[in-house]
């Protein structure tokens, strides 16, 4: 049973389109995250939610909008996609707010914008 699952795993789309990536965790964790891993392999935090409340919002264009309908789900919607949005997006969860809890990552969603 997958702990943190993301869909879709691959997404190829044209510039200007809008797309969503979904994430679900069955670990009972309170905190969920979106990270972006670019071509140079840097993992950068984008957003963090604790029990459906946004607690971290890094410098991310407002074309990116996270939504957490409940604490087990965190979706990422991207409007007006640009070439530079091409990356692998990872969802993660942790047992508690930013403390020393380890992150449990999903397998990633590779977004390619043409």
Partner 1 sequence: SQKIEQNSEALNIQEGKTATLTCNYTNYSPAYLQWYRQDPGRGPVFLLLIRENEKEKRKERLKVTFDTTLKQSLFHITASQPADSATYLCALGDYKLSFGAGTTVTVRA
Interacting residues with partner 1 (CB under 8 A):
4, 35, 40-45, 48, 56, 58, 90, 92, 98, 100, 102-108
**C-alpha 11, offset from chain centre:** 14
C-alpha span between 84 and 103 (Å, rounded) = 26
Q: Identify which of residues 66 and 106 has a Cβ nearer to partner 1 in the complex.
A: 106
Q: Select from 62, 31, 34 the least CA-distant residue to 46.
A: 34
- Shortest distance, position 5 Cβ to partner 1, whole Å: 11
Q: Identify which of residues 43 and 114 has a Cβ nearer to partner 1 in the complex.
A: 43
Q: Identify which of residues 40 and 70 has a Cβ nearer to partner 1 in the complex.
A: 40
C-alpha span between 3 and 99 (Å, rounded) = 20
- Shortest distance, position 8 Cβ to partner 1, whole Å: 14
Q: Identify which of residues 9 and 63 has a Cβ nearer to partner 1 in the complex.
A: 9
- Shortest distance, position 61 Cβ to partner 1, whole Å: 19
C-alpha span between 13 and 32 (Å, rounded) = 26
SS3 72: coil
Which tokens go with 89?
């997006």
- Shortest distance, position 25 Cβ to partner 1, whole Å: 12
């Amino acid at each position: 049973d997958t702990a943190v699952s993301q869909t879709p795993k691959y997404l190829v789309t044209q510039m200007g389109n809008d797309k969503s990536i979904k994430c679900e965790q069955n670990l009972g964790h309170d905190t969920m995250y979106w990270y972006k891993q670019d071509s140079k392999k840097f993992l950068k935090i984008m957003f963090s939610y604790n029990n459906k409340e946004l607690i971290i919002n890094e410098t991310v264009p407002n074309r990116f909008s996270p939504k957490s309908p409940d604490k087990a789900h965190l979706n990422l919607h991207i409007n007006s996609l640009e070439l530079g949005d091409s990356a692998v997006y990872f969802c993660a969860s942790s047992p508690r707010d930013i403390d020393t809890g380890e992150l449990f990552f999903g397998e990633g969603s590779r977004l390619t914008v043409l």
